[in-house]
């Protein structure tokens, strides 16, 4: 499935939430970022999110992993393990919603924690990850949050930018290897730039620094 299509699916879900916002948030609407949460999406899609302190392990031996999330399509339940951080749970929740919308043939699906994944993810896993990223942190909302923090995009790494991000440790950033996520991660987790403090982009969107770094990179907002 091409990435444009996946992004469209995420946007369609966001639109549906926006459209039903009066019903979903009778006590007052959260910010647009606050609306893009797995539990809100689950209500719109008529799914139940079941938080469990333990979902067990999958497989045995060295390839065994702690289950972070599950989708049970027949029962309309997404289970999330509370053993993980809030950011990881949010991402896994959105990932399961991605499977629900993108992979109708997936009836019962179990997932390992996103942070332990790395390379070698199957196409479906990558698709669900991309859906999660687009849903939790849409291009438009990231761009809106990016500009007041870092100015006009893209932010290009040079000596000044490295100094604004890292101060006396600027040289570490300049030494990062080409193609690494180091600069994107520094921007994703930055709590100030050129002396102006703010909540980091990762914090604002409730994503891990690495998930936000990947997002900044794929949107072309940072260039190192």
Q: Closer to Zn ion at the Cβ: 60 or 123?
A: 123
| Residues at the contact surface with Zn ion, assessed by CB under 5 A | 111, 125, 128
Cβ 99 to Zn ion shortest distance, Å: 5
Residue 210 beta carbon to Zn ion: minimum distance, rounded to whole angstroms: 17
Query: Please, which residue, 135 or 146, has the CB nearer to Zn ion?
Result: 135
**Shortest separation between residue 95's beta carbon and Zn ion, angstroms:** 6
Nearer to Zn ion, 90 or 149 (CB): 90
Separation of alpha carbons 18 and 216, rounded Å: 24
Choose between 25 and 58: whose C-beta lies nearer to Zn ion: 58
Q: Nearest residue by C-beta to Zn ion?
A: 111
CB of 92 to Zn ion, least distance (A): 8
Q: Which is nearer to Zn ion, 9 or 111 (CB)?
A: 111
SS (H, E, C) the chain: CCHHHHHHHHHHHHHHHHHCHHHHCCCCCCCHHHHCCHHHHHHHCCCEEEEECCCCEECCHHHCEECCEEEECCCCEEEEECCCCHHHHHHHHHHHHHHHHHCCCCCEEEECCHHHCCCCCCHHHHHHHHHHHHHHCCHHHHHHHHHHHHCCCCEECCHHHHHHHHHHHHHHHHCCCCCCCHHHHHHHHCCEECCEECCCHHHHHCCCHHHHHHHHHHCCCEEC
Nearer to Zn ion, 18 or 51 (CB): 51
In angstroms, what is the minimal distance from the CB of 199 to Zn ion?
29
Least Cα distance to 101 among 176, 198, 12 occurs for 12
Q: How far is the CB of 75 from Zn ion (least distance, A)?
A: 17
């Amino acid at each position: 499935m091409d990435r444009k299509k996946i992004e469209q699916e995420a946007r369609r879900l966001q639109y549906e939430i926006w459209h039903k916002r009066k019903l979903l948030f009778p006590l007052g609407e959260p910010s647009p970022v606050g609306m893009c949460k797995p539990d809100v999406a689950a209500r719109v899609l008529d799914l139940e999110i079941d938080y469990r302190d333990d979902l067990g392990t999958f497989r045995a031996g060295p390839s065994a992993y702690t289950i972070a999330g599950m989708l049970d399509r027949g029962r309309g339940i997404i289970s999330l393990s509370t053993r993980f951080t809030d950011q990881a749970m949010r991402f896994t929740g959105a990932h399961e919603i991605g499977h629900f919308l993108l992979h109708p043939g997936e009836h019962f699906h179990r997932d390992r924690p996103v942070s332990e994944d790395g390379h070698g993810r199957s196409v479906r896993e990558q698709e669900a990850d991309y859906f999660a990223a687009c849903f939790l942190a849409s291009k438009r909302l990231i761009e809106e949050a990016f500009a007041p923090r870092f100015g006009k995009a893209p932010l290009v790494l040079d000596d000044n930018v490295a100094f604004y991000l890292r101060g006396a440790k600027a040289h570490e950033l300049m030494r990062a290897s080409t193609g690494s996520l180091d600069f994107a991660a520094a921007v994703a987790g930055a709590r100030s730039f050129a002396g102006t403090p703010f909540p980091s982009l990762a914090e604002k969107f409730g994503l891990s620094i690495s998930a936000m770094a990947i997002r900044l990179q794929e949107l072309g907002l940072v260039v190192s």
